[in-house]
Amino acid sequence: MGTDWTDNRKNLMLFSGRAHPELAEQVAKELDVAVTAQTARDFANGEIFVRFEESVRGSDAFVLQSHGGADINKWVMEQLIMIDALKRGSAKRITAILPFYPYARQDKKHRGREPISARLMADLFLAAGADRLMAVDLHTAQIQGFFDGPVDHLFALPILAEYIERKLDLSQVTVVAPDAGRVRVSERWTDRLGCPLAIIHKRRDPDVAHRVTMSEVVGQVAGRTCIVVDDMIDTGSTIIKAAEALFAQGAAQVIVTATHGVLSGSAVDGLKNSRISEVIVTNTLPIPDDKQFDKLTVLSIAPMIARAINEVFSDGSVTSLFDGNS
């Protein structure tokens, strides 16, 4: 005799690392479950200890950890240890949720004697005991192939685009790709919003890290509200240079959207002092008080993650979350 949905829900267990407990609590609220109680602490020498306070035997375990900031390596290790504890506690299936995939920008070798660290991350999660990975807006789609198992690649576009649709007159909007690598994502935005696309040809200074020089803007931006679309804002140099190039071509307003608000170094000061009118990100990463500023809008990714968890747990389809338009 089969068990009903109510009984099955007892097997769904949500676990949170210490990097971003607020996001885990939001996801738990959406799922109507509690984050599983655990003891997690650092020893004097920096080693991490984790123990769950209740049985995980037979559970469908979802382990959420955000990977950003100066402690990124610590948070990766903590999630690996949590997965190992679940495996040894006889969890039935373990899904590692990585809203911001660590080391995603190191996805290929540019020169000899360089690592492919994004692949190493996938290998580590597999070795620890993860059966499945879930991530939001991977830096490159090829990372999905690094993990030997299912990878649920979620898109924040519906959340970000819905906000733009409520806020702006779309007849005056141009979507802008800040470099060639973002063209495909920007095209999804134009399909959703029904707006024209502009592209900025970007050059990086090979001798100075993070220094970006901009070339020509291709597309109609004069007198229009430009929505610059990127997957992350790290130092902010790309976005700020893009905005300067757009204003130089007569843009009336520049708004920036990105899934991941890394906001390293002087990014906050640079964005605050720029002519950009609004910066819209999601909460895949925690944004502490010292990185909050008036132009910043943070949208919650929790409903999407909760929906994906429900689909995985009930053996439903996560495909609707892959297309970026759901």
List the CATH number of the domain containing 11: 3.40.50.2020
> 184 and 148 in one domain?
no
Determine contact, residues 177/199, Cβ cutoff 8 Å. Answer: yes
At residue 6, the pLDDT reads: 44
> 233 and 178 in one domain?
yes
Q: Are strands 197-204 and 173-177 parallel, antiparallel or unpaired?
A: parallel
At residue 7, the pLDDT reads: 47
User: Which residue, among 86, 88, 64, 92, has the nearest Cα to 8 in the 3D structure?
Assistant: 92
Q: How many domains is the chain built from?
A: 2
At residue 23, the pLDDT reads: 98
> 280 and 308 in one domain?
no
pLDDT band at 325 (very low <50, low <70, confident <90, very high): low
pLDDT band at 318 (very low <50, low <70, confident <90, very high): confident
What's the predicted TM-score (pTM) here? 0.91
The predicted model gives 208-237 an average pLDDT of 86
> 42 and 19 in one domain?
yes
Bigger pLDDT: 319 vs 28: 28
Residue 9 has pLDDT above 60, yes or no: no
For residue 88, which amino acid is it? Answer: R
Residue 322 has pLDDT above 90, yes or no: no
At residue 1, the pLDDT reads: 41
Could you tell me if residue 251 is inside a domain?
yes
Q: What is the dihedral of CA 105, 110, 114, 115, to 10 degrees?
A: 40
> 187 and 111 in one domain?
no
> 171 and 135 in one domain?
no
pLDDT band at 238 (very low <50, low <70, confident <90, very high): confident
SS3 45: coil
The predicted model gives 199-223 an average pLDDT of 75
Could you tell me if residue 273 is inside a domain?
yes
Give the range of the structural domain holding residue 42, as residue numbers without chain letter. Answer: 5-155+302-321
Q: Which residues are catalytic?
A: 202
At residue 211, the pLDDT reads: 60
| Residues 135-189: tens digit of each pLDDT | 999 999 999 999 999 999 999 999 999 999 999 999 999 999 998 889 999 999 9
The predicted model gives 188-215 an average pLDDT of 78
At residue 179, the pLDDT reads: 87
| Residues 82-141: tens digit of each pLDDT | 999 999 999 999 999 999 999 999 999 989 999 999 999 999 999 999 999 999 999 999
Give the contacts of 200 (CB within 8 A, at least 6 positions apart).
Answer: 176, 177, 178, 179, 214, 215, 216, 217, 218, 242, 245, 246
Q: How far apart, in Å, are the Cα atoms of 80 and each of 66, 87, 226, 236, 285?
A: 12, 11, 41, 30, 18
| Residues 16-69: tens digit of each pLDDT | 999 999 999 999 999 999 999 999 999 999 999 999 999 999 999 999 999 999
DSSP 319: G
